[in-house]
Structure 1
Amino acid sequence: MRKTSLALAIAAGTLGLSLSQVANAEFIKDSKASLEARNFYFNRDFRQDGASQSKREEWAQGFILRMDSGYTEGTVGFGIDTIGMLGFKLDSGGGTAGSDLLVPDRSGGSQDYSSDLAVAGKVKLSKTTLRVGSMQFKNMAIASSDSRLTPQVFKGGQLLSQEIEGLTLDGGYITEVNNRNSSDFEDLSMTTGGRRGITVTGDKTTDSFQFLGGNYKVTKDLTAAYYYSNLEDLYKQNSFNLVHVLPLGEAQSLKADLRYARSTDDGRSNVDNKALGAMLIYGLAGHSVGLGYQKMSGDTGFAYLATSTDPFLVNYVQISDFANKDETSWQARYDFNFGSVGIPGLTFMTRYLTGDNVDLGAAGDGKEWERDTELMYVFQEGALKNLGVRWRNAMVRSNFTNDLDENRLIVSYTLPLF
């Protein structure tokens, strides 16, 4: 994995400190490291007649080493963060590749193994931190996907400031992406699939994505957030979010999550979208019941970074995002934490989403639905502590895209190193 010269310069400067200085610095004391072993089985069965591929089925083993240093002593502190990734094919072939677990090969299958290293140098002054290099992001404008064997990382820089109590300011500039099924960086592009009605003229890629925004804790129960983002030449986006948690008594609460985004073109596309979303979640002891609503309007569907970056939408779920042109969708969700009945570490989730009014042109209106179920258990003590077993099941039916059934079985073990 390639690294920017600036990140290397920061890393070299940090590592070049004298041994006596490093030994006494917070650089060592505040360092954290963990190793995750992730075993992933993926099966997607295409159910519609005439599908070009009957199923995608792969099994792989991954290892993710995360090492975050502290900062050197002094008014300005220096540090370094790294993510090391290894992936090994356990089973794939016979036309079943394409799960995004593994790096594709030239024959249409998957490579036997892959490796990547993401390195980011960081500088801290007071409560403001600058990171430059290869890293994951998670905010309203951009969120790295971590739903396969190894995570998606981006190359760029990020400035994060918390100088004012309750206020977090966040800005960044990104030039390239290394996707979860890739072994190298590539230019940035925009999601255009499905029935979004998004078209691009000329070059479909760019090397510039910028974002600026943040969140403010208005009260202890209310948080407001705003982000502006720009994928150069492709789209501009203004995103707003309000989250309010209302305590209703002992072990009860009502959470409201309201989202709105306005997306427009930036020269080479026809992007024009308004995305409104709302989610209400009532919690009682170990139970929670949620109801979600999402509405797309404008000349196109919702625009966000490709490939497989997680969009900030209430109805973005295991497979679908329900963000096609003119689509209206609803979600009903139920969660249960078995810790409330004496089985800590065991959780259950199920949800059902339905979308309609998708603009299919002369073909009329499109409809789709998705049902997801998830069961997860993480051992809390003993020799198997931190071992997690997770089963994710999904079913999708639609009159304009693939019908499919999907199962994912993930066994992961995280070992804290220091």
Structure 2
Amino acid sequence: MLNKRIGLIALGILSATQAMANDQAESKGFVEDSSLKILLRNAYINRDKKDGNHDQREWGQAAIGTFSSGFTQGTVGVGVDAFGLYALRLDKGSHSGGQGIDFFKPSEGGNKSPAGDLAKAGAAVKFRLSNTVLTYGDQMPALPVLSYDNGRLLPESYTGTLITSKEIKGLVLDAGRFTAESRKSAEGRDSGGLKSINVLGGSYQFTDQFKGSLYASDVEDVLKKQYVNLNYVFPLATDQSLAFDFNGYRTKLDKSYADFKNAGGQDNKIWSLAATYATGPHSFTLAHQRSTGDSHLGYAYGGYQKEQRRVGDGGNTIYLANSYWSDFNAEDERSWQLGYGLDFGAFGVPGLTYNLAYVRGDNITTSTSTGGTEREIFNQFKYVVQSGPAKDLSVKVRSSILRVSQKSSEYNDSGNELRVFVDYPINVF
């Protein structure tokens, strides 16, 4: 039924009035528009847990190669995308293999250490007609309801079909179905154990200042989810602006899944509204986020259906303002954020940025308590080399101090976190 629906959507898209240049008509060719990129990544995450919980630490070196061909010339263009991933575990200590970090999948039953390295590859074939692209195979979708995690050593990937159309200026439409998930910390095309997920939605740029998005997903035997975004930027002066960003999710768990997870209920609604004032190199953010509903899971997303019995819709499927180490997404939770950003380019150090955020959440409900709290202080420095042999190499250092009240211990853990990522992108051609 969904495949028929996607087909009808595609026909409607292709029959729409052309309001943009035809990308396929301007194709230079399969080889001429192709590119090969390699990302070398050294990543380290250390979580110093409190209240007797086990510490977590992982360190690894990765090479991420991505190839994207151009499209053949003609009415319908054909192309290929492919990737190859390799990771080497550098930390052989007893704290390695933590589920929350997930560089390398913990061993079965915990009887031995995680694998010392892992390698995998994937490929997809793509077809373009006018400004509409149909891709089938292994992909890394970045949609509000299906967003792969690239915040660890290796990225996640999914296998399936995705149609993306840009036939009308300012309008982007997406429709897809994916039937396998490759876990970022394990080999194999379906190491995540996803049954299937259907996605549908789009975004529209109403004006230069105003943009909106609306998406929906259906994860088989787990949940249904809807997402909405409204973003408006008020230009105030030459170097000043005020931006408002609203994001919201509505989730309904399948009854069998809610019962299995002892969720208590099936429903959750979560939203955030952030206001950011930017002036010169400075930015100041005030945000509020609120979760409501009767599910003890709060806002459910990410993880893997295999072994973890979680959602499987991507580790970045949380387009909300107050998501740092903690997501502040517990049942009934209310959270507030004060944030600050600084671009050191205005002070003679181009490429260096700093971000600080303080988030406090309260009113947390779990299956055993009410009125829990948590708070986090987030800091991040990032530097991107601007020129020379190491141009585009980036160093990112971030830390979080998270404290969770005893009433919220069922939902989250207190701890101190440090992340150091060094990324070096190489454009082979």
Give the TM-score normalised by structure 2: 0.84
- Matching residue within 273, 279, 282 for 1:284: 279
Task: Give the conservation status (yes or no) of the 8 Å contact 2:148–2:317.
Answer: no
Task: Give the conservation status (yes or no) of the 8 Å contact 2:248–2:320.
Answer: no
Change (3 A) 1:334 1:157: same
Correspondence 1:115-130 to 2 at 5 A: 115-130=119-134
Question: Structure 2 counterpart of 1:228, which letter?
Answer: A
Name the residue aligned to 1:195. Answer: none
SS of residue paired to 1:134:
strand
Distance in 1 between residues matched to 2:177 and 2:90, nearest whole Å: 37
Residue 288 (structure 2) pairs with residue 293 (structure 1)? yes
Name the residue aligned to 2:270. Answer: 275
Deviation at 1:362, TM superposition (A): 4.5
Distance in 2 between residues matched to 1:83 and 1:317, nearest whole Å: 29
Question: Structure 1 counterpart of 2:301, which letter?
Answer: Y
Change (3 A) 1:244 1:119: same
Distance in 1 between residues matched to 2:155 and 2:133, nearest whole Å: 23
Name the residue aligned to 1:375. Answer: 381
Deviation at 1:403, TM superposition (A): 1.1
Correspondence 1:15-26 to 2 at 5 A: 26=29
Residue 182 (structure 2) pairs with residue 178 (structure 1)? yes
CA offsets per residue over residues 250-274 of structure 1, 9 Å max, x none?
Answer: 1111111112222223342342011
Name the residue aligned to 1:196. Answer: none
Name the residue aligned to 1:57. Answer: 57
CA offsets per residue over residues 294-350 of structure 1, 9 Å max, x none?
Answer: 111111211323246113342453321111111111111111111122211111111
Name the residue aligned to 2:106. Answer: 104
Name the residue aligned to 2:13. Answer: none
Distance in 1 between residues matched to 2:221 and 2:237, nearest whole Å: 50
Question: Structure 1 counterpart of 2:401, which letter?
Answer: M
Name the residue aligned to 1:304. Answer: 301
Correspondence 1:339-350 to 2 at 5 A: 339-350=345-356
SS of residue paired to 1:340:
helix
- Uncovered stretches (5+) of structure 1, i.e. residues with no partner: 1-23, 189-204
Task: Give the conservation status (yes or no) of the 8 Å contact 2:83–2:122.
Answer: yes
Deviation at 1:61, TM superposition (A): 0.6
SS of residue paired to 2:90:
strand
Change (3 A) 1:312 1:28: same
Distance in 1 between residues matched to 2:210 and 2:318, nearest whole Å: 19
Name the residue aligned to 2:169. Answer: 165
Question: Structure 1 counterpart of 2:93, which letter?
Answer: G
Distance in 2 between residues matched to 1:409 and 1:264, nearest whole Å: 36
Name the residue aligned to 1:73. Answer: 73
Distance in 1 between residues matched to 2:194 and 2:62, nearest whole Å: 30
Distance in 2 between residues matched to 1:95 and 1:414, nearest whole Å: 29
Distance in 1 between residues matched to 2:402 and 2:39, nearest whole Å: 31
- Matching residue within 29, 38, 41 for 1:38: 41
Deviation at 1:360, TM superposition (A): 2.9
Deviation at 1:91, TM superposition (A): 2.0
Distance in 2 between residues matched to 1:406 and 1:305, nearest whole Å: 20
Distance in 1 between residues matched to 2:417 and 2:38, nearest whole Å: 28
Question: Structure 2 counterpart of 1:345, which letter?
Answer: G
Name the residue aligned to 2:16. Answer: none
Deviation at 1:275, TM superposition (A): 1.3
SS of residue paired to 2:142:
coil
Name the residue aligned to 2:249. Answer: 261
Distance in 1 between residues matched to 2:191 and 2:254, nearest whole Å: 17
Distance in 2 between residues matched to 1:58 and 1:237, nearest whole Å: 32
CA offsets per residue over residues 18-61 of structure 1, 9 Å max, x none?
Answer: xxxxxx9611111112111101122111122x32x2x2222211
Residue 224 (structure 2) pairs with residue 213 (structure 1)? no
Distance in 2 between residues matched to 1:238 and 1:306, nearest whole Å: 18
- Matching residue within 366, 370, 387 for 1:364: 370
Question: Structure 2 counterpart of 1:408, which letter?
Answer: R
Task: Give the conservation status (yes or no) of the 8 Å contact 2:330–2:364.
Answer: yes
- Matching residue within 233, 238, 262 for 1:245: 233
Distance in 1 between residues matched to 2:294 and 2:208, nearest whole Å: 39
What is the root-mean-square deviation of aligned Cα atoms in Å? 1.8
Question: Structure 2 counterpart of 1:70, which letter?
Answer: G
CA offsets per residue over residues 338-384 of structure 1, 9 Å max, x none?
Answer: 11222111111111111110113553321111111111111111122
CA offsets per residue over residues 100-122 of structure 1, 9 Å max, x none?
Answer: 12233343422111101121111
CA offsets per residue over residues 112-171 of structure 1, 9 Å max, x none?
Answer: 111011211110000000111111111111111111111011111110001111111111
Task: Give the conservation status (yes or no) of the 8 Å contact 1:95–1:109.
Answer: no
Name the residue aligned to 1:223. Answer: 211
Residues paired across the two proteins, number: 376
Distance in 2 between residues matched to 1:170 and 1:95, nearest whole Å: 41
